[in-house]
Amino acid sequence: MRQEIGDFEKMELEKGKDFEIDNLYALLQDRKEKMPEGSYTTYLFEKGLDKILKKVGEECTEVIIAGKDKDKSETIYEIADLVYHVMVLMVETGITPDEIRAELKSRNVIDHKIKQEKMTSDQG
């Protein structure tokens, strides 16, 4: 089921900027601070953490269904919705994109190390 998020799309298009996660994060922070009337993002922040978590869960399910159906365009659409809602969650809980980048970077190092250890143990 498609819904209109619109907030970030309209603002980014009006500014003529290329999409960047950091720009979306800043926009969401601005929405939380200013709480403009009629904004879907404002609605989520007003409803609070439980509503935001519910939306993240719903979007996860929609990604799974679209992926299972092997519908590429719908999967892309639903992943975009999931990213948006996860980022709303990040703003609500004070998690920054840099913290996520750092976590992903640390996992890359860990995964590489685990692979090396597995290869070494398989040879011995």
Domain coordinates in residue numbering, the chain: 7-93, 98-124
Which of 43, 99, 48, 115 has its CA nearest to residue 123?
115
Tens digits of pLDDT across the chain (124 residues): 455 455 554 554 456 667 789 999 999 999 999 999 999 999 999 999 999 999 999 999 999 999 999 999 999 999 999 999 999 999 999 999 999 999 988 877 666 666 666 666 666 6
Kindly tell me the burial class for residue 67, based on how many C-beta atoms sit within 10 Å of its own C-beta (0-12, 13-18, 19 or more): middle
pTM given for the model: 0.78
CATH architecture of 7-93: Orthogonal Bundle (1.10)
